[in-house]
Amino acid sequence: MPLLIRRPSDIRPSEITSPEHFSRRRELIAALGLGLGAAGLALPRHALAAPAPAGVSPPTGFPPVARAAPGSPWFSDEAQTPKSAITSYGNFYEYGVDKADPGKYAPGLLKTRPWTVAVEGEVLKPRTFAIDDLLKLAPLEERIYRLRCVEGWSMVVPWVGYSLSALINKVEPTGNAKFIEFVTLADPAQMPGVRSPLLDWPYVEGLRLDEARHPLTLLGLGLYGEALPAQNGAPVRIVVPWKYGFKSVKSIVKIRFLREQPTSTWTRAAPSEYGFYSNVNPAVDHPRWSQKTERRLGEWRRRPTLPFNGYADQVASLYAGMDLKKNF
Amino acid sequence: MHQSPPRRSAPIPLPPYTPGRGMLATIKIVLFAVCLIPAVRLATALLGDNLGPNPIEELQKDLGFWTLTFLWITLAVTPLRQLTGQHWLVRLRRMLGLFAFFYGCLHFANWLGLDMGFDGELIVDDLTKRPFAILGFATLLLMVPLAATSSNRAIKWLGGKRWQALHRSVYAVAILGMVHYLWGVKKIALTTPLIFAALLAVLLGYRAWDRARRFTPAGRGEPPGGMPRVVPTVTVQPVRFMERPK
């Protein structure tokens, strides 16, 4: 099975600010300023605020992130959706049914620390990861992915994270593990939407293990170089860019490795509309609307939807021989 | 101007009120302006980029909401006037119904132009394959004859009975619009549509109840022996076509 993934162009380690230097940056800058002052070089104050070099995230305690640059497989020259749109528009029904609800309510309600993710099921080394462990499990990379919602809108998001396979390898799935299930937090105190009887909570989604291990499948921890905003599924989520957005589970508290295919929340709610695979596919319409086109946020004209959301060359082989109209 | 027949009993202690010509004109102008507020606000928000990151979708949802809202208000006129005795309210019904049609047309135009971008292939695709879209389109088409025959001249031309029979299809319009709305949302977002459905059930249920009540033998004025005559609490008013020019 040839994986047509270009290897990331290595960012030289020298370009990445070490965490130690990063956490001490203010002292270092201050020391530099004092030194310059002592030398009698009266620099204007703003000169001390040097622009952040590539690979440095803003001072939020979030680790440094290797930026996606041209040549990297995670780079895309498509216009990125502004952060204001990414954080003010989306479906996160734990916070309400309006697209603006998550942005309004999640930041004030969701407590992302302490946070743990229990990994269990068909694994040799079941383990509960604290969020800080996950931030250090593998180097954080920026990955610019298209996100296509099943409703027909899309955006381009510079996520931060690493391949989920890094975590999978740590827990060593047994030979029986064929599927993986993700579970979102369902705490009514933090998520008023889970009081709604109209959907089963907690929100669960699943992938086949080979899909979960695919390098494109991201364990998302940030976007735009910073920690994930609450409304985008803080502190840790999954991003599967070739599937409709609802497959990309937010605010994960549990990951289970299973022998049998799990039933996703939306599949249970409307089996004829939301299948297990839910690969982006312009040839298979939603029962109520066409999937041939999509509206990219910020654009007026619809644009054609691409098979596997434009990632067909990398993932189509996962589905060789399958009838994707049946396995929608 | 219609004269109220003598009443045996006032159902609700509101004095029957009939606005004068000038007063009615003023009420209509004010109502017209109020009915335009949602359209003006949406247009301002659209031009000022205040509809959020997906303005076309927001516009589509809002215009659909206002279509049904005006339709429901239109359907509330008859129960309201019967229950309160304020029969002049019926003289506002045409404008309310036409505003429902107006918002329905904007809802359709937004879909056709801004959402589909007048792409013939996409439009035909939706209108031939997807019951949800077909239902919405059918609802609007059913409103066309009602809007087209809303003038006094049309009432005169059709004659009251036929006009009334035609305009009873507003119930079908409401039911189809309701199904279109329910069908258009995900299960989790059913709350608002279900409120609309409950209100529609009340509006249609009232009519069924009223009809059943009037068609009892007592209501027809032939009380069965020994039973006290049931006096309707509201007298049925022959005011339906009072806007016919004299």
- Domain-wise residue ranges, chain A: 8-319
Token pair 């990125």 is found at A80
pLDDT for A240 equals 98
- The minimal CB distance from B52 to the residues A89, A285, A292 is found for A89
The average confidence (pLDDT) of chain B is 86
Phi, psi of A130 (to 5 degrees): -80, 155
The string of pLDDT tens digits covering residues A253-297 is 999 999 999 999 999 999 999 999 999 999 999 999 999 999 999
Cα–Cα dist B170/B70, whole Å: 12
pLDDT score of B18 more than 90? no
- pLDDT over 90 (residue A170): yes
* Closest chain A residue to B122, measured at CA: A290
Predicted confidence band of residue A76 (pLDDT cuts 50, 70, 90): very high
What DSSP string runs through B33-52? HHHHHHHHHHHHHHHTT-S-
Cα nearest neighbour of B132 on chain A: A288
CA gap A216, A141 in Å, rounded: 12
Return the structure tokens found at A39: 């030398």
pLDDT given at position A21: 55
The pLDDT-based confidence of B243 (bands split at 50, 70, 90) is very low
Contact check, Cβ <8 Å, B114/A85: no
Distance between B123 CA and the closest CA of chain A, angstroms: 10
The two three-digit tokens of residue A16, written as one number: 């990445």
**Residue carrying the six token digits 């302006």:** B33
**Mean of pLDDT values over B131-143:** 96
Q: For chains A and B, what is the number of CB pairs under 8 angstroms?
A: 71
Residue B99: strand, helix, or coil: helix
CA distance B116 to B217: 56
Q: What is the mean pLDDT of residues A17-27?
A: 54
Among left, alpha and beta (phi > 0; psi -120 to 50; other), residue B235 is beta
Checking if the pLDDT of A12 tops 80, the result is no
pLDDT category at A244 given cuts 50, 70, 90 is: very high
User: Is-contact A109 A195, C-beta < 8 A?
Assistant: no
Tell me how far apart the alpha carbons of residues A62 and A60 are, in angstroms, rounded to a whole number: 5
Q: What is the ipTM of this complex?
A: 0.77
- Position B52 scores a pLDDT of 94
Query: What per-residue confidence (pLDDT) applies to A47?
Result: 38
Note whether B187 contacts A289, CB cutoff 8 Å: no
Using one digit for the tens of pLDDT, what is the confidence trace for B186-212? 889 999 999 999 999 999 999 999 999
User: Could you give the CA distance from residue A94 to residue A104 in angstroms, rounded to a whole number?
Assistant: 12
* Nearest-by-Cβ selection for A199 from B116, B125, B188: B188
The residue with greater pLDDT, B81 or B215, is B81
From chain B, pick out residues whose CB is under 8 angstroms from the CB of A89: 52-54
Span B238-242, average pLDDT: 43
- With an 8 Å Cβ cutoff, are A292 and B190 in contact? no
pLDDT digits (tens, 9 = 90+) for B76-117: 999 999 999 899 999 999 999 999 999 999 999 999 999 999
Comparing alpha-carbon positions, the chain A residue that sits nearest to B182 is A288
pLDDT digit string, tens, across residues B141-194: 999 999 999 999 999 999 999 999 999 999 999 999 999 999 999 889 999 999
Percent of chain B at pLDDT exceeding 70? 82
pTM summary value: 0.80
Chain segment A101-128, per-residue pLDDT in tens: 999 999 999 999 999 999 999 999 999 9
- Distance separating alpha carbons of residues B194 and B177, to the nearest angstrom: 13
Q: What is the pLDDT of residue A191?
A: 98
pLDDT of residue B218: 56
- The CATH fold assigned to A8-319 is Sulfite Oxidase; Chain A, domain 2 (3.90.420)
A300 interaction partners in chain B (CB closer than 8 Å): 56, 114, 117
pLDDT, tens digit (0-9, with 9 covering 90-100), for A51-72: 444 444 444 578 889 899 998 9
CA–CA separation, B86 and B96 (whole Å) = 17
Helix (H, G, I), strand (E, B) or coil at B131: helix
HEC-encoded secondary structure of chain A: CCCCCCCCCCCCHHHCCCHHHHHCHHHHHHHHHHHHHHCCCCCCHHHHCCCCCCCCCCCCCCCCCECCCCCCCCCCCCCCCCHHHHHHCCCCHHHCCCCCHHHHHHHHHCCCCCCEEEEEECECCCEEEEHHHHHHHCCCEEEEEEEECCCCEEEEEEEEEEEHHHHHHHHCECCCCCEEEEEECCCCCCCHHHHCCCCCCCCEEEEEHHHHHCCCCEEEEEECCEECCHHHCCCCEEECCCECHHHCCCCEEEEEEECCCCCCHHHHHCCCCCCCCCECCCCCCECCECCCEEEECCCCCCEECCHHHHCHHHHHHHHCCCCCCCCC
What's the CA gap between A317 and A214, in Å, rounded?
A: 11
- Tell me B113's DSSP state: I
User: Where do we find the tokens 């909570």?
Assistant: A201
Burial of B147-183, coded b for 16+ CB within 10 Å and e otherwise, reads: bebbeeeebeeeeeeebeeebeebeebbebbbbbbeb
Closest C-alpha to A201, from A215, A191, A216: A191
Q: Is the pLDDT of residue A38 over 90?
A: no
Q: Find all residues with CB under 8 Å of B79, minimum gap 6, and list them.
A: B203, B206, B207, B210
Cα angle B178, B183, B185 (rounded to 5 degrees) comes to 105
Provide the percentage of residues in chain B whose pLDDT is more than 90. 76
> What share of chain A in percent tops pLDDT 70?
82
Contacts of A295 in chain B (CB under 8 A): 54, 56-57, 115
Yes or no, beta carbons of A289 and B130 under 8 Å apart? yes
Token pair for A176: 């029986």
How far is A197 from A188, CA to CA, in rounded Å? 12
| pLDDT for residue A7 | 53
Confidence category of residue A41, pLDDT binned at 50, 70, 90: very low
- Chain A residues touching residue B52 (CB < 8 angstroms): 88-89, 99-100
How large is the average pLDDT for residues A183-207?
97
- What integer is the mean pLDDT of B238-245? 43
B211-219 average pLDDT score: 74
